Structure 1
Amino acid sequence: MSFKIFSLQLTGKIKSVAAIEQKRKQLADDYAEFLKTESSEELKSFLELEKYVNSAEFSSKKKETEGLSFKGSEEEKQLKEFQRLQKSARIKNYFKVAGSSDLLRYEKDKESKKLADFYALEDYVKEGDFEKDKREIKGQIFKGSAEEKHLKEFNRLEKSAAIKAFLELDGSAKLEKHKAFENSEKLKRFTELQTAAESDREKKKEFKNLRKDAEIKEYFRFEKSKKLKLFHEISGSHNLARYNELKASTNEEAFKQKVAYLKDKKKFEKSEAYKKYSEYKKLASDGVVVFVLKYEKSKLYKNYLDVKESFDLKRHNELETLIKSDEYKQKKTWLEDKKRWEKTDDFKKYQDYQNDKKKPEFVKFFKYNKSNDFDFFKNWDLVFEDSFSATKPEDEKWYTTIPAATKSGVKNFAMPGDLSIFTDGANLKTGQKLAIQVKKENKKGMVWQMPAGFVPAEFEYTSGIISTGDKFTLQDGIVEAKIKFDPVKQVASSFYLSAGNNVPRVNLVEMGPNNILGIYTLNGSAKIASEGLEINNLKKGEYIFTLQKSGANFTWKINELEVLQLTNSELNKPLELNASSMVVQPLAGSSAVFEIEWIKCYRKK
């Protein structure tokens, strides 16, 4: 009686097959999913995202973003600067003018002809030219002028006796008569008689008569006159030439106009200078000119000009453009947003990371990633498997004869004392599991007897066997099978590994008269010696029996719980798989069944 098995079952350390298979299936499914996830682009992207959200860069960005505030920011400084400039009297007054109707009128009127004429006249009036012209015009008077002098000189000459005599006689009939008589025969005779001798009475008498002649008397009277004397004196003189010159010049229209101009007491009011001055005064009171002059002298306009090109206005406009921009508004809103971090791309990445981390495939991946749960899958290859789903044992996997018979080329045979004979697959049932059936039926067969060899015999029972023979052997590795543990005392049902002979062998499990895990060998008396663990106390039911072979070392497990370790150098060789049932005592009934649901073998990678 094995107290060990009893204790293990009592303490619940031997788990149920259903739980193990469910766990194994789940683990296999998880491993397949793990591998799929491991090679997926989604995991690659997730790992990159994980690396980023756990990086110093991400942490720094988060800290920086959460530490942002509008207060104290460059944007707040810009807004405050703008507001200060906006409240500035200079800036406010500038905008009162900029674009106003008065400014538009001023800009238009200052280019008008009226204003241009006004400025030209203002320059004339205020820059001294007007006063100069005024003084010059008013300074032009008749008294003391050249014209007055000329007129006075002319009048003086005209009033002189000589000029009067000349004017009276020049070209006169009297003078012409006088000149004509001067060349007359009468005067010539008178002159001749005048010098005649006193003795010549006739001539003297003639002389006296002629001296009384009216023409002669008139001639000499005129000849001796002061007028004629003055006439002769003035004729060809400078005074006469000057008189004629002055008479000609003073009689010219220009001279007369000049004299009239010099004598005109309102000549200034008639001058071009006065006309310009009057036009200037008129324009100075014109609505356009008055508005322009008043406007450009106004404090508002002067402020407008001062501010127009100022740094403050330029800065104000720059800041206004900036503050009204969508970019600034968005930045300000961003800085004022207490939840700005939640609106960043990085936060979205973090959220994506958190959400992705919860994805079942990723949860499962990271559950197993650093665990050793998949070590078996990673370290072992499945090299043999049969779940017996085919309608009969698959030929490429199994022989249905005992290994010795397979090698000898004969049909199944029995050993002396055996109550059953193996059929060639007739007692094997597959489809969902392997059932090796023991039947109570008469069957002829062969028995191996020394020294006769194979001898015909009658058997009361038939049974079955499967063996991988040379189709599959396990040097080192794991073999396990799901077997129904339901011992029938009269039937030895075994799953074992051997090297072509019945003994020595490794029993994965044997049940019947002996319920044991262990190794059978032949002792010195050629009798079977058993070494292992009795499992008589094992409850009936399905179990997964596992045997791991590593050279000469063997380890057994029941439902993944290690229960036995043995060493046997004789079995340190490739071993084939075998399963069979043998009747060792007459059955109480007509049949017994040895059920194996599946078999799997693994080899270390």
Structure 2
Amino acid sequence: MASLKVMLGMFPSTAKIESEEAALIKDFNDFNEYSNSAELKRYEELDKIVNSSEFAEKKKAIKAQKFNGTEEYKKQQEYLKLKKAKHIKNYYQTKSSKELDEYLKMDGSEEMKKYEKLGEYINSKEFAEEKQNAGKDYKNSSAYQKEQEYNNLQKSSSIRNYFKFKTSPLLENYQRLDGSEEIANYEKLERFVDSEEFKKVKDYMALSPQKKYEQSEEYQLEQEYLNLKKSEKINWYFKLKKQNDFHKITDWELTFEDDFTNGKPDSKKWMNNYFWGEVLLKDTYALPGDMHFYTEGKNIDVQDSILKIITKKEEAEGKIWDPVFGFKHQHFNYTSGLISTGKSFRQKYGKVKTKVRFSGTSLRQAVWMVAEKILPHVDIAKLEKNKIKMGNFWGNITEKGGVHKKITKKGGSKFTSDFFIYTLEWTPDKLIWKINDLEVMAQTQGIPQEPMYIGFSAGVSGPVSDHQLPAGMEIDWVKIYRKKE
């Protein structure tokens, strides 16, 4: 489909390409910033917890909770068992009984002390002797009076009830349990089953499985996780992560860039003539067939961050290379400009991208790469005779038939109406040319295997009408990348 689009000249909009790239860079920067956010870290922490088998088991266990499986239930059952026990019932019945109350009042009372004292006397040897010695006068004796008092006390209901209760199983049970560990435990259990804590557990256990779960810490964690999962930022992050488009950025390292924002060409990056002219002649020169002379930057202008190479109709004197006689002096009717990174920057393999607008004239305007010698030579994009040409040249210029080339041509009028992004991708075994990210040509022969530098030039190599001049080749920016290992 890409080749059909190329054939039909259906190249994507330059503005769209740049907008998408800017959006990708922004997304990349925002993505990296968000990657370190507390929100994402919390989401990933919760995702690990909530989606673990341990969490699922815990959730299941919470929903499956039954009251009869709790410690509270066990304590309640222990309490109810004790509460039903006869000896516990008897203990509390006795504790609150009238009999115990009367017994405790009688026990140690003056009446009981008197009765016990009289009883000791009546049962003593002293009483027996006094009774015997008194004879017929016994009824008039103090011993008789005491005996009568003792007998009367013994017949009293309070004394009889006291001794009856004292020997009863109820009192024995009460005295055995009162203050015992068993009663202390029972009363502790009773306080527990009457407590708010116990009622809260029992009420909780009466809830439906889902309602139980909704009161758990796990439910709160799950809700926090689900709310984060719905957030636009989280979904945006994982959508970008799944798309995996950032390799377009991360796979490449920017090694050279100029967007011409300084108002003039950066002399640390650009030279205004051919590399060997600068090295050998300290001067500029023209090549065979050139009808123009390259000035020392006079035909280069930068306005609004756009560098323009201007070709003019004006006379000039300068050198031209003659393959037979070498450099010679010549008169020129046109001037133009050239910039290259011959002295500042060269690279072997990578990706070159530049945004250029060619002028709609019959001039020759080109973006190219070259190394130490004339060959290899790569035309990233060249407008000539109203055609856009892309291709590479390789071989040995000194041998007959030693120069090889592969070139593709497209109608050039489209590329003079607007800026287009021209790309060369260069690997050890392949060259790929693109216009606005659409592949135009690929080549696997004559691949350069040495560092090359980039150049931009414009000039006259054929008839041109005076009204077409001056004409400018506009360069918005240039970027060169190296593939990361």
CA contact (8 A) 2:228 2:234 kept: yes
Q: Within the alignment, does 1:58 sit opposite 2:55 as a pair?
A: yes
Q: Please, which runs of 5 or more residues in structure 2 have no aligned partner?
A: none
Q: Which amino acid letter does the alignment assign opposite residue 593 of structure 1?
A: G
CA distance in 2, matches of 1:552, 1:407: 31
Are the structure 2 counterparts of residues 122 and 502 from structure 1 closer, same or farther at C-alpha, using a change threshold of 3 Å? Answer: farther
Change (3 A) 1:436 1:405: farther
Residues 504 and 519, structure 1, Cα contact 8 Å, conserved in 2: yes
Instruction: Determine the C-alpha separation between the residues in 2 that align with 1:337 and 1:372.
Output: 47
Does residue 468 (structure 1) correspond to residue 341 (structure 2)? The answer is yes
Match of 2:267 among 365, 371, 395: 395
Match of 1:176 in 2: none
Q: Corresponding residue for 2:191?
A: 321
Q: What is the aligned partner in structure 2 of residue 68 from structure 1?
A: 65
Instruction: Show the counterpart of 1:515.
Output: 388
User: Does the residue aligned with 1:266 lie in a helix, a strand or coil?
Assistant: helix
Aligned partner of 1:336 in structure 2 is 206
Amino acid paired to 1:347: Y
Tell me what 2:453 maps to.
576
Distance in 2 between residues matched to 1:445 and 1:102, nearest whole Å: 143
Matched, 1:542 2:414: no
**Aligned positions of 1:34-113 closer than 5 A:** 34-39=31-36, 43-44=40-41, 46-70=43-67, 73-83=70-80, 85-86=82-83, 91=88, 94-95=91-92, 98=95, 107=104, 110-113=107-110
Secondary structure at the aligned position of 1:571 is classed as coil
Amino acid across the alignment from 1:562: E
Scaled by the length of structure 1, what TM-score is found?
Answer: 0.66
Q: Which residue of 2 aligns with 1:167?
A: none
Work out whether residues 392 and 429 of structure 1, in 8 Å CA contact, stay in contact via their aligned partners in 2. yes
Distance 1:483 1:59 in 2: 60
Q: 2:29 aligns with which of 4, 8, 32?
A: 32
Per-residue CA deviations over 1:276-308 (Å, capped at 9, x if unaligned) read: 550563486497x68866876889767755664
Residues of 1 paired with 2:97 and 2:260: CA distance? 102
TM-score (norm 2): 0.81
Change (3 A) 1:510 1:343: farther
Q: Which residue of 2 aligns with 1:600?
A: 479
1:556-584 C-alpha deviation (Å, 9 max, x unpaired): 22333333221344622100011122233
Separation (CA, whole Å) in 1 of partners of 2:289 and 2:260: 31
Which residue of structure 1 aligns with residue 408 of structure 2?
533
Distance 1:18 1:354, change over 3 A: farther
Cα deviation 1:126-174 (Å, max 9, x = unaligned): xxx27x777655544xxxxxxxxxxxxxxxxxxxxxxxxxxxxxxxxxx
**Stretch moving more, 61-70 or 493-502:** 493-502
Partner of 1:231: none
Residue equivalent to 2:18: 21
- Aligned partners of 1:518, 1:594: CA distance in 2, in Å? 20
Q: 1:579 to 1:449 in 2, by over 3 A?
A: closer
Aligned to 2:5: 7
* Aligned-pair CA distance for 1:270: 2.2
Structure-2 separation of matches of 1:74 and 1:22: 66
Q: Secondary structure at the match of 1:426?
A: coil
Which residue is 2:114 aligned to?
A: 117
Q: How many pairs align? A: 473
Give 1:332-371 correspondences, 5 Å limit: 332-338=202-208, 339-359=211-231, 362-369=234-241
- One-letter amino acid of the structure 2 residue matched with residue 532 of structure 1: I
Stretch deviating more after TM superposition (73-82 or 486-495)? 73-82
Render the CA deviation track for 1:314-354: whole Å, top value 9, x for unaligned: 55323223324454344334433442323323333333333
The one-letter amino acid of 1:553's match is K
For 1:478, the equivalent position in structure 2 comes to 351
Q: Deviations over 1:220-262 (max 9, x none)?
A: xxxxxxxxxxxxxxxxxxxxxxxxxxxxxxxxxxxxxxxxx44
1 CA distance for matches of 2:161 and 2:19?
104
Distance in 2 (alpha carbons) for counterparts of 1:8 and 1:123: 136
**Pair 1:453-2:453 in alignment:** no
Distance 1:137 1:405 in 2: 163
Cα distance change on mapping 1:373 and 1:401 into 2, 3 Å: same
Paired with 1:68 and 1:118, the residues of 2 have a C-alpha distance of 65
Instruction: Trace 1:182-197 onto structure 2 (pairs within 5 A).
Output: none
Matches within 5 A, 1:195-206: none
Q: Which amino acid aligns with 1:560?
A: D
Instruction: Give the conservation status (yes or no) of the 8 Å contact 1:543–1:559.
Output: yes
Deviation at 1:499? 1.1
The aligned amino acid for 2:284 is: N
Counterpart residue type for residue 601 of structure 1: I
**Structure with more helix by fraction:** 1
Q: CA offset at residue 312 of structure 1? A: 6.7
In 2, distance between residues paired with 1:99 and 1:8?
108
Q: Return the letter of the residue paired with 1:493.
A: Q
Sort the Cα spacing of 1:31 and 1:107 in 2 relative to 1 into closer, same or farther, 3 A. Answer: farther
Aligned pairs for 1:155-194 (under 5 A) are: none
Contact 2:347 2:453 in 1 (8 A): yes
State the alpha-carbon separation in 1 of the partners of residues 299 and 321 from structure 2: 25
Letter aligned with residue 382 of structure 1: L
CA distance, structure 2, for counterparts of residue 496 and residue 449 of structure 1: 19
Relative distance call for 1:537 and 1:467 in structure 2 (3 A) is closer
Q: Secondary structure at the match of 1:27?
A: helix
Aligned residue type for 1:547: L
Instruction: Provide the aligned C-alpha RMSD in A.
Output: 3.9
CA contact (8 A) 2:355 2:420 kept: yes
Residue among 453, 464, 476 paired with 1:586: 464
Q: Structure 1 residues 568-577 or 3-12, which shifts more?
A: 3-12
Cα distance in 1 between the residues matched to 2:213 and 2:43: 21
> What secondary structure is seen at the aligned counterpart in 2 of 1:391?
coil
- 1:515 counterpart SS class: strand
Moved more, 69-78 or 472-481: 69-78
Q: 1:579 to 1:439 in 2, by over 3 A?
A: closer
For the 8 Å contact 2:423–2:435, the answer to whether it is kept is yes
Offset at 1:473? 0.7
- Relative to structure 1, is the Cα distance of residues 311 and 570 closer, same or farther in structure 2, using a 3 angstrom cutoff? closer
When Rg is computed on C-alpha atoms for both structures, the one with the higher figure is 1
- After superposition, where does 1:240-251 map in structure 2 within 5 Å? none
Larger % of strand: which?
Answer: 2
Q: Distance in 2 between matches of 1:101 and 1:32?
A: 89
Farther-moved stretch of structure 1 (565-574 vs 383-392): 565-574
Describe the superposition over 1:353-374 as per-residue Cα deviations: whole angstroms up to 9, x where unpaired.
3344455554444345466423
Q: Which amino acid aligns with 2:114?
A: D
Distance of aligned partners of 1:46 and 1:4 in 2 relative to their CA distance in 1, 3 Å threshold:
closer
